[in-house]
Amino acid sequence: MEADLGAHHKSYGGSPNGAPDRARGGPGEAGASGFRGGPGGFNRESNVQAESLRKAIESKASAAELKAKMAEVRTVRQKAEADLQKAQEDLRQILSLRQEATALSLGLVK
């Protein structure tokens, strides 16, 4: 039986009435935890590293420390991007053509 992803479009990232669910963090919105969800968001590790970099910038850390923090952020973000690409490809493998088209229109797959 083929599920229609289009039927879930209005409730994606929100409550059944279509309003964003702030506790979960809808697409691109910060939830109660303060982390962004949905397409374009970062995982928790990336936020931890980015926060560490921000603090280093504010404290006027040395160039060496800034370079190290920047490398950590880039590494975590590259891993997250690779994980996302793998998950999108895995999803595409199980979707019908119509489901994939809907997922693409919603930004769930590339």
pLDDT of 44 reads 66
User: CA-to-CA distance for 10 and 51, rounded, in angstroms?
Assistant: 33
Of 2, 1, 24, which is closest to residue 12 (Cα–Cα)? 24
pLDDT of 47 reads 87
pTM score:
0.54
Neighbours of 8 (CB within 10 A): 11
Number of domains in the chain: 1
Question: How high is the mean pLDDT of the chain?
Answer: 74
User: CA-to-CA distance for 2 and 94, rounded, in angstroms?
Assistant: 11
Of 27, 28, 34, 32, which is closest to residue 50 (Cα–Cα)? 34
Neighbours of 49 (CB within 10 A): 20
Res. 76: pLDDT tops 90: yes
Tell whether 33 is covered by a domain: yes
User: CA-to-CA distance for 23 and 110, rounded, in angstroms?
Assistant: 27
Domain range for 27 is 5-105
Q: Which of 31-35, 86-90, 106-110 has the lowest mean pLDDT?
A: 31-35
Tell whether 100 is covered by a domain: yes
Tell whether 110 is covered by a domain: no
Res. 89: pLDDT tops 50: yes
- Residues 53-70 pLDDT 10s: 999 999 999 999 999 999
Tell whether 52 is covered by a domain: yes
